[in-house]
Amino acid sequence: MATRQGLSSLLNTSRPFTFTKQSNSIICRQCRRSFATTPAQWAGHNKWSKTKHIKAVTDKKKMSERAAFTKTIAMYSRMYGENVQFNPQLATAITAATKASIPKHLIEAAVARGQGRSATGAQLESMSLEALMPPDVAMVVDAETDNKTRTLHDLRHVVKKAGGVVGSTTFYFTRRGRAVFKAKESGPTLSEVLDEAIEYEGLEDVEELPEGDFLAWTQPNTLTAITEALSTKFELEILDSDIVWAPNEDTKVSIDTADQIESLDALFNGLKEYPEVKAIYANVRQGAVVDEEWDKVERNLDV
């Protein structure tokens, strides 16, 4: 297909033969060129490499967008049930995903996953894969699958291919409840949210994110109650609500080179090719790399 496109492009841009009259003879314009020759340049090769690069970037962006939509759908299905007639949040999320051209089978699979089922109706089981990546990066990968043996084998292969090893890493993390709420122009303020949230047992902290949204940290067993209470009290849209592996600050590793970024980016994208993967956590922090490079890592992490 790429060859055809390259050939078609070449043919479409080639000049047709035109003729000029000179010295009582008709000479083809191309025949008037000097006898000096240069090696043929296969421009199509370079063009195709650029096209592949653009396509790879586009595919990553599309994958990220799909993951964001399906994660939201699964969350609302888990929190309020799969019946859209009684779950307006789920209905809204599905409508938004449909408008964004998210395939129907991915939407249906996300709804089922929120109910603990696979797309075929099989019961899903939760599992975690712990791994270490150079330089001393600890990871936890959460997955939901109907076949633990197969999924564990597949994810181990991805980690090994990326130069990592499977090993115990959960002691680098703390299990916490995490809820993100979309801010409104009409309020509330962070102070108002804190004043309300402090009354709830199990609340650990509330932060204001750079975009103005609110992030609440809770004990795992109180996440659902606090999320619903804050959402109802202030009429806030829930952007995310889940129990996560939060990396301990004193164990975080600085990422300082482009090679480290590319290695982690390749690993994360390899893991996210498997629909069973629910979340990826790593004890990393931005070091001596620019924001654009760091975004390749940060956008793949769930904390």
Q: Could you write out the DSSP letters of every residue in 132-168?
A: EETTTEEEEEEEEES-HHHHHHHHHHHHHHTT-EE--
Torsion of CA 135, 136, 142, 148, to 10 degrees: 90
**141, two tokens:** 């990968």
How many Å apart are CA 215 and CA 227, to the nearest integer?
A: 10
pTM (predicted TM-score): 0.75
pLDDT at 46: 57
> Quick check: 243 and 175 in contact, CB under 8 A?
yes
Provide block-wise average pLDDT over 10 residues at a time, the chain (303 residues).
Answer: 37 41 46 48 52 56 80 91 93 94 93 91 95 94 96 97 95 98 92 93 94 96 95 94 96 95 94 92 97 93 90
In CATH, the number for domain 55-114 is 1.10.10.200
Q: What single-letter amino acid sits at 12?
A: N
Whole-number Å distance between alpha carbons of 186 and 188: 7
Residue 172 CA to residue 245 CA, distance in Å, equals: 9
Q: What residue spans in the chain does CATH classification 3.30.70.980 cover? A: 125-298
Tell me the two tokens of residue 10.
């070449």
The pLDDT score that the predictor gives to residue 50 is 52
Residue 303 pLDDT: 85
Distance CA 5, CA 12 (A): 10
d(CA 293, CA 286): 10
Query: What φ, ψ does residue 127 adopt, rounded to 5°?
Result: -150, 160
3-class DSSP state of 67: helix
Class at the top of the CATH hierarchy for domain 125-298: alpha beta
Beta bridge partner(s), residue 240? 180
Q: Residue 22: what pLDDT? A: 44
Predicted local confidence at residue 47, as pLDDT? 54
End-to-end, the C-alpha distance of the chain in Å comes to 40
Helix residue ranges per DSSP H, the chain = 2-13, 43-80, 88-99, 104-114, 148-161, 190-197, 223-234, 258-272, 291-298
Q: What whole-number distance in Å separates Cα of residue 174 and Cα of residue 241?
A: 16
Residue intervals in the chain for CATH 1.10.10.200 = 55-114
> Tokens for 49?
């490499």
- Rounding to the nearest 10 degrees, give the CA dihedral for residues 12, 14, 16, 18: 150
Class of residue 274 by CB neighbours under 10 A (exposed 0-12, middle 13-18, buried 19+):
middle
